[in-house]
Structure 1
Amino acid sequence: MRIGLITPEPGHPLLAAATALLAPGHQVEALNPETVESAPEPLADVYLLKSRTPRALALARSLEHRGVPVVNPAAATALCQDRTAMAERARRAGLPFAGTRTFATLAQLAAGPRLPGPVVVKSRHSRKNDLVALVRHATQLRELADAYPQEPVVVQDFAPNSGWDRKLWAIGDRLFAALRRSELSPEGRGPTVPLPLDSLPPGWPSLVRRVGETFQLDVYGVDIIDTGDGVPLIVDINAFPGIRDQSGAPEALAALAVSRAGQLREGAAVKGRAAKGAAAGAVRHAVLGHF
């Protein structure tokens, strides 16, 4: 199989480890979306989209238009970058997603009515080093607005919790989990601690599956907080996160890539057999028509 990586960082630990597993029997090639506009021929059987820049999404869309599967699809990846659209999709699907309000700019938020209580302010558009801040009073909000006056933002009411996020990841059929101190915690974000799946509250694994189905994602992360007694609240969804230091993650990604590539080849074979059958039928019809 030929497997392509759409990324400027093929040395990322997850990708590098998966590549090492694939290399003995498959050809793996990396495409830097910031330096190439189209994939060279022959095209790979599947492409893994580990980048969210506009150029990466454009490259992924062009490959999809040419009939090549991309994991995750460009549209699904783009949806997870817009926290407003993400929240709307999740709530419509009945997922327990944090209530989310959108403001055109932080300055607009600061100039509006007084906040009813502690809130979490996030950049509307998810990206590296975006804004995520816990705001408890008006003074904090004004200071934030002075620093980022034109930043489009979303606001989520702060849900009291233990200060620890449950990080859940899916790669195909495999699930992984970890515990990490929230970046909103006074102590700051700490190390990520692997979490056994059987320690999760009942229903959480199936909830993660529903997220994947709702957003049409194969490789994704779901940030969940426990609001008490195992009641989950989803606060973020990420397309193709890093999933570092999770035993079995590279193997799961390698297996997913081969599976998706095999589906493309099988689909092409089925179409080829159907075309041959149709052609043979047309010949028989033409021959019989002479009698």
Structure 2
Amino acid sequence: MRIGLITDNPGHPLLSAAAELLRAAGHEVEALDPGSADEPAGALADVYLLKAHTPRGLDLARRLEQRGAPVVNSAAATTLCQDRTLMAELAVRAGLPFAGTRTFATLAQWAAGAPMRSPVVVKSRHSRRADLVARVDGTAALGELTGSWSEEPVVVQEFAPNSGWDHKLWAIGDQVFAALRRSELSPEGRGPTLPLPRLPAGWADLTRRVGEVFALDVYGVDIIATADGAPLIVDVNAFPGIREQPGAPEALADLALGRAKG
């Protein structure tokens, strides 16, 4: 089998480990850097893994799909996860426990008419590296944030009291991996990723349901436990890093081969 990696970082630990497993089993693995490579001519790979989320990466994935190549995750599913407004709308329609989300054309627009009744979480509408994710507790913090991000399209989510730790759940096919990570919104800032040997009942099935709703094969779900212990989804990511999770490279290699044969 031939497996293509659409990525500008083929040395990423998850990708490189899965590629080693595939090559050891006699399969061919090739990396396509969407920032420098043209669309491959001639025969296509049996499957492509889309790790790049840039416009050029998504465009390359779409063109490969149009030629009949299977892409994991699809360009459409990956694109949807980059728009936090569409993400929230789809989650709510599907009955998923997703954080209440409002959308504003710019941060300045929201700041001009938003009485600060309680803490909120403000995020860039369009997910990308170094985007805006911040907790706002009052008008002073809002004013400071607006000074740097006034024209940024944003979503505003109600802040749900929680322990300050995010439950990081990742899925590769039907396999679910989990860890704890201190929220970047906590006063101490983001800390190390800690093992989470046991998930609360039903959370693994909830994660798989997210994959069904969003048509994702490799994805991450950020969940916080609210004051009563109920899960609340705050973000969904297409093809995240999934670092230091035993069994993840094997699961990715198996998924790639399954999609290639399918």
Q: Do Structure 1 and Structure 2 share a fold, with TM-score over 0.5?
A: yes
Q: Offset at 1:230?
A: 2.9
1:232 is aligned to 2:226? no
TM-superposition CA deviations, 1:74-128 (whole Å, max 9, x none): 0000000000000000000000000000011111111113122100000000011
Query: What is the total number of aligned residue pairs between the two structures?
Result: 261
Q: Offset at 1:40?
A: 2.9
Helix, strand or coil for the counterpart of 2:258? helix
Q: How does 1:104-253 map to 2 (within 5 A)?
A: 104-196=105-197, 199-253=198-252
Structure 1 distance, partners of 2:213, 2:92, is: 10
Helix, strand or coil for the counterpart of 1:206? helix
Helix, strand or coil for the counterpart of 2:144? helix
Structure 2 distance, partners of 1:82, 1:37, is: 26
Q: Which residue of 2 aligns with 1:59?
A: 60
Structure 1 distance, partners of 2:7, 2:111, is: 37
Equivalent residues of 1:223, 1:235 under 8 A apart: yes
Q: Which residue of 2 aligns with 1:19?
A: 19
Change (3 A) 1:202 1:229: farther
Q: Which residue of 2 aligns with 1:68?
A: 69
Structure 1 distance, partners of 2:19, 2:196, is: 25
Equivalent residues of 1:201, 1:230 under 8 A apart: no
Structure 2 distance, partners of 1:125, 1:261, is: 31
Structure 1 distance, partners of 2:98, 2:51, is: 25
1:262 is aligned to 2:251? no
The code of the aligned residue for 2:12 comes to H
- Where does structure 1 lack aligned partners over 5 or more consecutive residues? 264-291
Structure 2 distance, partners of 1:234, 1:115, is: 23
Q: Offset at 1:201?
A: 1.3
Q: Offset at 1:194?
A: 1.8
The code of the aligned residue for 2:119 comes to P
For normalisation by structure 1, the TM-score amounts to 0.88
Q: Offset at 1:228?
A: 3.0
Q: Offset at 1:213?
A: 0.2
- Where does structure 2 lack aligned partners over 5 or more consecutive residues? none
- Between 1:108-117 and 1:10-19, the stretch displaced more is 108-117
Q: Work out the percentage of aligned pairs sharing the same amino acid.
A: 72
TM-superposition CA deviations, 1:10-36 (whole Å, max 9, x none): 000100100110112100000001112
The code of the aligned residue for 1:177 comes to A
The code of the aligned residue for 1:53 comes to T
For normalisation by structure 2, the TM-score amounts to 0.98
Structure 1 distance, partners of 2:59, 2:201, is: 39
Structure 2 distance, partners of 1:229, 1:204, is: 15
Q: Offset at 1:202?
A: 1.2
Structure 1 vs Structure 2 CA RMSD = 0.8
Q: Offset at 1:129?
A: 1.1
TM-superposition CA deviations, 1:142-182 (whole Å, max 9, x none): 11011111111000010000000000000012110000000
